[in-house]
Structure 1
Amino acid sequence: MVDNVEIKETDMEEKMVKACVEITNDAQSRYNFDKDVAAYIKEEFDRRFGTTWHCVVGKSFGSRVSYEMQHFMLLNTRHVSIMIFKCGY
């Protein structure tokens, strides 16, 4: 666990993982609603790593997504799970 973030699954490079933890912590300190946290994370990833990122934030969700290799992360924080992935061109 890093900075109250437990990485459940990822294929991202270490540089991107560190950025993800930083962005996630920043989003949760700025916003109280999951939709706002998701929007902030998505916009920051688009800005830093190019467009077509997607972000899901919630307490309980199932998923099955297609994504670009080395561009997926599922993590848990104290309050929610967050899935971040890049898909599309």
Structure 2
Amino acid sequence: MREKAEVDVASEELERRSRYLSSLIQRTKLKGDAVEEEEDKDQEKGQKKDGGGNGRRPEADDLQELKNLRVRAADMAPAMQRRAFRCAKDALDTMPKLDSKRLALALKKEFDTSYGPAWHCIVGTSFGSYVTHSLGGFLYFSIDKVYILLFRTAVEPLDH
């Protein structure tokens, strides 16, 4: 009887966390949409974001050729998302055929170096996952048929 009560408590906690993460993802999407609308308005007014002649951000041009890029879920700043997309694109461009481990390592190293430890990356054409991540450190996207899950966890120092 005690085990069932513990399972119920754990199940309720898992459901509560899942709802919380879903709300964070939704808020991130709404903020991202608002930022994009603002940038579109600025471009229509003729303001230039990059100082160049076309009024577009340079990284937006780089990512235009990724027509098959799709964000599945995100709790990450748009600039960090673009960095992940660029890194994934660059790594995929150097591979004659998909090497999931090499792509995962490239993304992990890039984010560990740029944003500190502890980033984790899962790459594949078919996988399931359920992870806990640090606030602002989650991105799940696909490029063509390659799915990429990039997330950060908190790291606590070991006490010796």
User: Same fold by TM-score, threshold 0.5 exceeded?
Assistant: yes
RMSD over aligned Cα, in angstroms? Answer: 1.5
**CA deviations over 1:6-48 (Å, ceiling 9, x no partner):** 1110011111111111111112112331111101110011111
Radius of gyration: which is bigger? 2
**1:19 aligned partner:** 83
The one-letter code sitting in structure 1 at the alignment partner of 2:144 is R
Q: 2:142 aligns with which of 67, 76, 80?
A: 76
Q: Does 1:66 align with 2:142?
A: no
The one-letter code sitting in structure 1 at the alignment partner of 2:84 is C
Larger relative contact order (CA 8 Å, sep ≥ 6)? 1
Which of the pair is proportionally richer in helix? 2
Q: Does 1:9 align with 2:73?
A: yes
Deviation at 1:88, TM superposition (A): 2.8
Which of the pair is proportionally richer in strand? 1
Unaligned runs of 5+ in 2: 1-62, 156-160
Unaligned runs of 5+ in 1: none
Runs of 4+ in 1 over 6 A off after TM superposition: none
CA distance in 1, matches of 2:94, 2:152: 23
Count how many residue pairs are aligned between Structure 1 and Structure 2: 89
The one-letter code sitting in structure 2 at the alignment partner of 1:47 is T
**2:116 aligned partner:** 50
Q: Give aligned-pair identity as a percent.
A: 30
TM-score by length of 1: 0.91
